[in-house]
Amino acid sequence: TRRGYPEAVLGEGKSVDQLVAIATALRDRGAQGGGSAQTILFTRVDPDRAQAVCRVLPDAEHDPLARMVAWPGTVPEPAGEQVLVLCAGTADIPVAREAWLTARYLGRPADLVVDVGVAGLHRVLARVPAIRAAGAVVVVAGMDGALASVVAGLTAAPVVGVPTSVGYGAAFAGLAPLLSMLNACAPGVSVVNIDNGYGAGHLAAQITAPRG
Amino acid sequence: TRRGYPEAVLGEGKSVDQLVAIATALRDRGAQGGGSAQTILFTRVDPDRAQAVCRVLPDAEHDPLARMVAWPGTVPEPAGEQVLVLCAGTADIPVAREAWLTARYLGRPADLVVDVGVAGLHRVLARVPAIRAAGAVVVVAGMDGALASVVAGLTAAPVVGVPTSVGYGAAFAGLAPLLSMLNACAPGVSVVNIDNGYGAGHLAAQITAPRG
Amino acid sequence: TRRGYPEAVLGEGKSVDQLVAIATALRDRGAQGGGSAQTILFTRVDPDRAQAVCRVLPDAEHDPLARMVAWPGTVPEPAGEQVLVLCAGTADIPVAREAWLTARYLGRPADLVVDVGVAGLHRVLARVPAIRAAGAVVVVAGMDGALASVVAGLTAAPVVGVPTSVGYGAAFAGLAPLLSMLNACAPGVSVVNIDNGYGAGHLAAQITAPRG
Amino acid sequence: TRRGYPEAVLGEGKSVDQLVAIATALRDRGAQGGGSAQTILFTRVDPDRAQAVCRVLPDAEHDPLARMVAWPGTVPEPAGEQVLVLCAGTADIPVAREAWLTARYLGRPADLVVDVGVAGLHRVLARVPAIRAAGAVVVVAGMDGALASVVAGLTAAPVVGVPTSVGYGAAFAGLAPLLSMLNACAPGVSVVNIDNGYGAGHLAAQITAPRG
Amino acid sequence: TRRGYPEAVLGEGKSVDQLVAIATALRDRGAQGGGSAQTILFTRVDPDRAQAVCRVLPDAEHDPLARMVAWPGTVPEPAGEQVLVLCAGTADIPVAREAWLTARYLGRPADLVVDVGVAGLHRVLARVPAIRAAGAVVVVAGMDGALASVVAGLTAAPVVGVPTSVGYGAAFAGLAPLLSMLNACAPGVSVVNIDNGYGAGHLAAQITAPRG
Amino acid sequence: TRRGYPEAVLGEGKSVDQLVAIATALRDRGAQGGGSAQTILFTRVDPDRAQAVCRVLPDAEHDPLARMVAWPGTVPEPAGEQVLVLCAGTADIPVAREAWLTARYLGRPADLVVDVGVAGLHRVLARVPAIRAAGAVVVVAGMDGALASVVAGLTAAPVVGVPTSVGYGAAFAGLAPLLSMLNACAPGVSVVNIDNGYGAGHLAAQITAPRG
Amino acid sequence: TRRGYPEAVLGEGKSVDQLVAIATALRDRGAQGGGSAQTILFTRVDPDRAQAVCRVLPDAEHDPLARMVAWPGTVPEPAGEQVLVLCAGTADIPVAREAWLTARYLGRPADLVVDVGVAGLHRVLARVPAIRAAGAVVVVAGMDGALASVVAGLTAAPVVGVPTSVGYGAAFAGLAPLLSMLNACAPGVSVVNIDNGYGAGHLAAQITAPRG
Amino acid sequence: TRRGYPEAVLGEGKSVDQLVAIATALRDRGAQGGGSAQTILFTRVDPDRAQAVCRVLPDAEHDPLARMVAWPGTVPEPAGEQVLVLCAGTADIPVAREAWLTARYLGRPADLVVDVGVAGLHRVLARVPAIRAAGAVVVVAGMDGALASVVAGLTAAPVVGVPTSVGYGAAFAGLAPLLSMLNACAPGVSVVNIDNGYGAGHLAAQITAPRG
Ligand SMILES: Nc1ncnc2c1ncn2[C@@H]1O[C@H](COP(=O)(O)O)[C@@H](O)[C@H]1O
Ligand SMILES: Nc1ncnc2c1ncn2[C@@H]1O[C@H](COP(=O)(O)O)[C@@H](O)[C@H]1O
Ligand SMILES: Nc1ncnc2c1ncn2[C@@H]1O[C@H](COP(=O)(O)O)[C@@H](O)[C@H]1O
Ligand SMILES: Nc1ncnc2c1ncn2[C@@H]1O[C@H](COP(=O)(O)O)[C@@H](O)[C@H]1O
Ligand SMILES: [Mg+2]
Ligand SMILES: [Mg+2]
Ligand SMILES: [Mg+2]
Ligand SMILES: [Mg+2]
Ligand SMILES: [Mg+2]
Ligand SMILES: [Mg+2]
Ligand SMILES: [Mg+2]
Ligand SMILES: [Mg+2]
């Protein structure tokens, strides 16, 4: 483990065989008492890869929408400040859910809200109490990425922006919201890689970690 | 005149001498009755160029902030629907003012509001009545360009987005708000060239023109 | 509905199941009198998704070329000014047709003309009367995007440019016509996202809406 | 103040006159008891602008290297967790110092270390205790931006990456370190705009703020 | 000489001293009978550099608008087919004139027409006879670069497109017309570097060279 | 026909049905004496599309490597100057062959040479006589695109560069040779779109056309 | 052979038939004594292509991970200085292995180490002796590409950086590590094309070649 | 010193005062016997900065063309293999000379040849013996960068490509030759940053270093 946080295995770019080998090694290490139920996250795993991993690690949990497998599957008892993950719509859900699950497997209390977009300001405004209650807000948005600026203007807590590749044409596979978020006109926004829900959830969990 | 609208002379990229020659030709054409007080706009003229033009055309009006000279300087009696120009701050004013003056010289009633930005939503919300009263809204914004999406969600009128080169770093001289506005998550937004206040004001005046 | 206009559901990036769920919810909302035949547009839906939606909403209309489903399928009685959609050739038809249908479902009288390209100026010139009769012209063009500039020079009405991803090589999936249209040398052109026929049709309908 | 934090005025893109007007308004507001010594930061101000501001606000403090003026100039008593700002060399100092001063004016204990670069790993390793003691680390780096990844691998605290425009050629004015940091191979890194020391210091102060 | 054509010396990026040294060497070579009045073109020379060259080569001719010095200054007797250089406006004149002079110094009959732009189609149409009479047409255009497509549709002769850096914002210093011309929807267009009037004039002269 | 040259139908982006409809219309027009054996070129047609076209037009000729169908299939008697098409290797053949066939169907004598690349200069040098004999040289090259500069230095005839999408990584689908050719350090090179063999062959045929 | 080194045939972009024809020609040339067991490398060959080549050349060796076929398959006796190939993880292995095999088939002693990444500095530090023993180090890295800078700071030998297309989002298919490595803050790094393991191994073998 | 090589101080981005402070510290360190005449290179120093450094270090040598100061100024006795630096013309000289001086101050025998460009192949061919005699060749080229591929095809020694920002328009400040060189169609080429003569000379010296 990297200084107390779960290890993560990036599923994308690995073959089923390679993932099975990794899962087997982890299982064997665990069996030898090499680690006391330290959580492992397999990220960006498609259904085939996920099922292959789960066959090796039967007590793992698979979230198909988030394309994530966690082993062991039990979510730890939450501690630290609240993490809030926000996104506008259906197409952003995989990334948002990956952020939300990561924060929870890293031990934070975390909520996921999917129905907020700047084109319907009233829906953003309805969430202001939740936004202000969080110790860190993850904003997942494609296309114009405008939600990050709006949310950062509503809270004193750090906002982690995750641009997504949702959109077409001049969205340029996430470049548009990436640049938009990097230029957020409210301070308090920082940005992770396009579609990097895992990284955002991890960072939010670090920000909200219980203090000594 | 192009189908009834004022002619414009782009000052940038022309020498003082060239502009003086153009102004002289226009004055002489006017003196010969070649045009009945048809307005001419000189855009993107720095102070030196503006003063040289005004020496030739003493009844011209120079707006240094907008870097514009209009000849003759009289604003026509407004007709058609209201144009509203919005921007967030000081650095966007030259472009916003260029849009606002263009719309007025093309004969529209037009307002300019400078204190709205998505980082302070209450200031946007305070302008909702004005936004909803306009027949076209010009949104001038640099950096994240998020204001265009927010405003388009608040009105049924067309929104003309003008990305500006305001900002630094990953704003990439207007690329960030350009892409952001092209991907506005509310329908009803279209975009003109970076810093093209003239084009936006012109288009807004066309949209709000009195109908036969 | 957003201020009187039909709602749109972006089909791309949603699974068949998700679209069926949305369609079912809309049907149930309608059955409960939640909306009086307010039109819903499903955009960018491939044949599978379209048919799944139509099974839930049998009185919907599917236009395969435009990749659009409208529910209910009846086009409203047209009102407001004329919308004209122009494109050069076969490959631009899906986007052009999406713009044309959107304008019609938003209640405008609208025409679609497919045989105009700047390489054959006589064909453009043959359309001048139609171009001048329209309250808004949507120009759909890939590759050099030159048609937008040419058309804007022929009319006092606003021109909405839709760059398309048609072309190859240095067209860079629509970047070439996008930049070309943003730099149109005639005023009166604004631009929406690459391939965004829906957005262009929507905007044209807003521009030509009947006035109070 | 935005929810308890100092206001900031971006000096770049404003004229001396505009800054003097802003400073005067702030001074008058203060004189009327409108704010109890709430700090104001003027960022990215060149020497001329800084001196003009200081003439209006004599109790302001000017840091020429950071191109910052703070009013009033007194640094608040530090509270919350430690902020550590790291950079490799001379050319990054303005940005690093801007981050460091911002964190201090926002009330955090903060250190600035200038002599660490991945080309001399021993110098990084010598700083591991300081890195591990911080509640947030700001890494300021141009060129390859590699320091962010290395530091994130050494601490469980969040790392805020600030790519700088230092370098030439294929550094593309900060694009190289921006992309590098967005792809940091260790989790725990997020990124702000190129050269945005203010934003990074602000975010670090938010992350390390004292908890209720 | 490269296979019979004049040599060219690119003035940009060379110091006054370096150009004087080159001019002196050329003069001395000529004095020694090393070349029988073979023309030399100095391109992209600012006034200072041009005057320095002309002091060494008094029988040279300097065209300040084209930023070109030719030595000896006499234009050769024209032979071969006609070259026509077209551009839309004032700001493109330096590049257009460089193309025109190059073609003439390479021995072609050549015309320069400055008042054609696609926003005013009648002005293009008025030039159709001249366009059809030319053996090669050089089209110099910034911004949307649309003129190249339009002209290529009007003639069977090759069209050499020269995108210029005229424009601002999303013209991206000539990228917009470059891409536009590379995607010209009429066959018969090829493109040279942005602002490369010399290269275009040279190529047009090669295309129209007298045949053995 | 466009001023005497064959019409071309771009196969890419059209369905089999659309191509069959076009072929049928052309056949019927021909049957009605609407055109006296005017050649039609179908470009970028995959095998399925090509065969469908040939079923409608049995006297057409299909070149699978060039992905081209010509109707009628007979190559006209050559006239005008020689066209030479050069490329380095196997992967460039489709584009090179498309250029070569186009030039021949437009009525030029044309040769295709495939084994020349700048990494083996002796192979280029062995072709110098052929290069110098041609009235226009088409250079087809991916990756570094260096062949265009080398060839232009060897001949006084115009060189038409066709960058190809051959290569990987930083070739960026043809961007590398496109930029390289636009910056050819020898004059006499102009460039067409990436992979545009048709356009290059067409242009070469225009350049070498018999003169009145 | 190019000056003593094995020839390489780039498999990508060639059909199975074309590769079989090349392999057959090479075999026949060998059978005629045309070459004394000079090695040939087929690079970037997928399994189908590899097997087709091996059927023609039964004494060839296929490395599926490296996507390489070598004929004859025997690795030559190593001579010259040691080559060390380093990469961080599973997804970089194909490229790293291609570099390693190329160096070995070119006659160098070469090692491949896969478990080093800057996020775990101890693993880099554990390899310092091996790094310092090598005459050239090939660093294969995607994402942030930071390993090249770190390694170059640890050795006086040349470092050949190979950016890989491993990663997603703002890795932009290898652009991020390409730019990062080009801006390596330690001297001694040069870069080859994205994913070009063959080129890197070839260059490392040239650098470490035995000296006369 | 980094493992035996001279230290370098990048002059660009440092003030005169900062450079004087560095020079003074180095002089004092030397006076204290802290280094036995270890060479220091100041790179990219303009005349003012160079002279300020030389006033502190009178035994330094300033090369204004290369924008370099070396201290002490004595070039060491050459050892190792020959380095050859090639470039095409006047504008590339500063970068080429920086590479050449760096190699010499690092202790290699080095030659600089300035008159070779691919547009005049005979001049390249005249240099083949010198190219083949070198242990490493540095190719400095702007615009099309084609020289690197050509040279790499002529020698078995490593070629270090240095793209330069020489050129205009679509050279995009060195991007064109950078991409061209990264895609060199001959193996044996690797690339350093645009205009990085220092890095190329350093690397060439490492490649040609005497072996134990
Ligand atoms: N600020 C501006 N931005 C973009 N286009 C402009 C601007 N000002 C004028 N124009 C256009 O440029 C044309 C005049 O160009 P010119 O003949 O060079 O003065 C006018 O007809 C306008 O269409
Ligand atoms: N083809 C389209 N292109 C761009 N935006 C669209 C398109 N279709 C629908 N939209 C927008 O996307 C919103 C619906 O998104 P969603 O909730 O994901 O279905 C609508 O309110 C529209 O504003
Ligand atoms: N304006 C120009 N644009 C592009 N290439 C040019 C230009 N002027 C001269 N050249 C080319 O640059 C070469 C001379 O370069 P130089 O030796 O640097 O003077 C000539 O042979 C021309 O091929
Ligand atoms: N994987 C590779 N990446 C880059 N260049 C390669 C690769 N494999 C072979 N080459 C080069 O491509 C040339 C062969 O190309 P071809 O004739 O198309 O097989 C060889 O001489 C090598 O220089
Ligand atoms: Mg905030
Ligand atoms: Mg709206
Ligand atoms: Mg118009
Ligand atoms: Mg960490
Ligand atoms: Mg033509
Ligand atoms: Mg030539
Ligand atoms: Mg090193
Ligand atoms: Mg070589």
Residue F88, pLDDT > 70, answer yes
- Give me the amino acid identity at D5: Y
> For A145, left (φ over 0), alpha (ψ -120 to 50), or beta?
left
Find the mean pLDDT for residues D190-199. 98
Give residue-wise pLDDT tens across range G22-77.
Answer: 999 999 988 776 554 589 999 999 999 999 999 999 999 999 999 999 999 999 99
Q: Which residue, chain included where needed, has tokens 């160029």? A: B49
DSSP G61-109: EEETTTTEEEES-PPPPP-SS-EEEEE-SGGGHHHHHHHHHHHHHTT--
Residue F202, pLDDT > 50, answer yes
| Separation CA C182–CA C145 (nearest Å) | 10
Spelled out in words, what is the top-level CATH class assigned to the domain E83-207?
A: alpha beta
For chain A, what is the total number of helices (H) and then of strands (E)? Answer: 8, 9
Q: Which residues pair with F140 in a beta bridge?
A: F87, F162
Q: Which chain B residues are within 8 Å of D13, Cβ to Cβ?
A: 90-91, 166
Neighbours of D208 (CB within 10 A): 27
Q: Where are the alpha helices (DSSP H) in chain E?
A: 16-31, 47-56, 93-105, 121-125, 128-133, 146-152, 175-182, 197-207
pLDDT of residue D165: 97
Coil, helix or strand for E62? Answer: strand
Find the mean pLDDT for residues A108-123. 95
pLDDT of residue G148: 97
Tell if the CB–CB gap between F170 and G194 is shorter than 8 Å.
yes
pLDDT of residue D27: 94
Q: What percent of chain H has pLDDT over 70?
A: 96
pLDDT of residue G38: 82
Q: Which of B193, B101, E158 is nearest to C149 (CA)?
A: B193
Mean pLDDT of chain G: 94
| Separation CA E198–CA E76 (nearest Å) | 17
| Separation CA E189–CA E193 (nearest Å) | 14
* Sign of the four-CA dihedral B61, B66, B67, B68: negative
Task: Please give the backbone phi and psi of residue C136, each rounded to the nearest 5 degrees, phi first.
Answer: -155, 140
| Separation CA H87–CA H94 (nearest Å) | 10
pLDDT of residue E188: 97
pLDDT of residue D1: 36
Coil, helix or strand for H83? Answer: strand
Residue H1, pLDDT > 60, answer no
Q: Which residue, chain included where needed, has tokens 């020898």? A: F186
Residue F21's closest chain C neighbor by CA? Answer: C90
Residue H10, pLDDT > 60, answer yes
Residue, of E212 and G187, whose pLDDT is higher: G187
Coil, helix or strand for C210? Answer: coil
Residue G165, pLDDT > 80, answer yes
Q: What percent of chain C has pLDDT over 70?
A: 96
Which atom of ligand 4 lies nearest, measured to the CA of F91? 18
Q: Which chain F residues are within 8 Å of C119, Cβ to Cβ?
A: 2
| Separation CA B98–CA B83 (nearest Å) | 13
Question: How far is the alpha carbon of E177 from chain H, nearest alpha carbon, in Å?
Answer: 11
Find the mean pLDDT for residues F75-82. 97
Coil, helix or strand for A83? Answer: strand
pLDDT of residue D37: 55
DSSP F121-142: HHHHHTTHHHHHH-SEEEEEE-
| Separation CA C22–CA D23 (nearest Å) | 54
Q: Which chain H residues are within 8 Å of F159, Cβ to Cβ?
A: none
Q: What percent of chain E has pLDDT over 90?
A: 90
Give residue-wise pLDDT tens across range B115-136.
Answer: 899 999 999 999 999 999 999 9
> Taking a C-beta distance cutoff of 8 angstroms, is the pair B62, B41 a contact?
no
Helix (H) or strand (E) holding F207: helix F197-207
Query: Separation of H187 CA from ligand 12 center, angstroms?
Result: 6
CA-nearest residue for atom 10, ligand 4, is G10
Which tokens hold the place of F110? 């044309």
Query: Separation of F143 CA from ligand 4 center, angstroms?
Result: 11
Tell if the CB–CB gap between D199 and A187 is shorter than 8 Å.
yes
| Separation CA A170–CA A180 (nearest Å) | 13
| Separation CA E124–CA E118 (nearest Å) | 7
Q: Where are the alpha helices (DSSP H) in C70-186?
A: 93-105, 121-125, 128-133, 147-152, 175-182
B188: nearest CB among C186, C188, C203: C203
Q: Which chain H residues are within 8 Å of F150, Cβ to Cβ?
A: 118-119, 121, 146, 150
| Separation CA C187–CA B10 (nearest Å) | 12
Helix (H) or strand (E) holding D18: helix D16-31
> Taking a C-beta distance cutoff of 8 angstroms, is the pair B177, B141 a contact?
yes
Residue C166's closest chain F neighbor by CA? Answer: F13
> Taking a C-beta distance cutoff of 8 angstroms, is the pair E75, E104 a contact?
yes
pLDDT of residue A212: 79
Residue D33, pLDDT > 80, answer no
Q: Which ligand is nearest to the CA of E22?
A: 3
Q: Please report, for chain H, the start and end positions of each structural domain, with discontinuous segments joined by +.
A: 7-71, 83-207
Tell if the CB–CB gap between C190 and B190 is shorter than 8 Å.
yes
Give residue-wise pLDDT tens across range B82-100.
Answer: 999 999 888 999 999 999 9
Residue G3's closest chain F neighbor by CA? Answer: F120
Neighbours of C2 (CB within 10 A): 18
Which tokens hold the place of F68? 């081209």
The CA-CA-CA angle for residues A22, A26, A27, to 5°, reads: 115
The three-state DSSP-derived secondary structure of D37-70 is CCCEEEECCCHHHHHHHHHHCCCCEEECCCCEEE
* Per-run averaged pLDDT (10 residues), chain E, 212 residues: 77 94 93 70 98 97 98 96 95 97 98 94 96 98 96 97 97 98 96 98 98 88
Mean pLDDT of chain F: 94
> Which of D123, D132, D149, D154 has the most G C-beta neighbours within 10 Å, making it the best mutation to test the interface with G?
D149
CA distances from A26 to A21, A41, A72, A129, B129 (A): 9, 11, 11, 42, 61
Q: Which residue, chain included where needed, has tokens 């907020």? A: A116
Residue C103, pLDDT > 90, answer yes
pLDDT confidence band for C115 (50 / 70 / 90): confident
> Taking a C-beta distance cutoff of 8 angstroms, is the pair B180, A180 a contact?
yes
Q: Which chain F residues are within 8 Å of E160, Cβ to Cβ?
A: 190
Residue B34, pLDDT > 60, answer no
Question: How far is the alpha carbon of E194 from chain H, nearest alpha carbon, in Å?
Answer: 5
Give residue-wise pLDDT tens across range D114-138.
Answer: 989 999 999 999 999 999 999 999 9
Mean pLDDT of chain A: 94
| Separation CA B13–CA B19 (nearest Å) | 10
Rg (CA), chain F: 17
Tell if the CB–CB gap between E10 and H171 is shorter than 8 Å.
no
Residue H85, pLDDT > 70, answer yes
| Separation CA C161–CA G205 (nearest Å) | 55
HSE-CB of G196 using CA atoms within 13 angstroms: 31
| Separation CA H6–CA H3 (nearest Å) | 9
Residue F79, pLDDT > 60, answer yes
Tell if the CB–CB gap between D169 and H193 is shorter than 8 Å.
yes
Q: Which of A162, A171, A159 is nearest to A208 (CA)?
A: A159
Which tokens hold the place of G67? 């996507």
Find the mean pLDDT for residues F63-79. 97
pLDDT of residue D3: 59
CB burial of residue A111 (10 Å; 0-12, 13-18, 19+):
middle
Angle between helix axes C16-31 and C47-56 (nearest 10 degrees) is 30
pLDDT of residue G34: 54
Which residues approach ligand 2 with their CB closer than 6 A? Answer: A 89-91; B 186-187; C 8-10, 43-44, 196, 198-199
pLDDT confidence band for F1 (50 / 70 / 90): very low
Question: What is the value of ipTM here, to two decimals?
Answer: 0.96
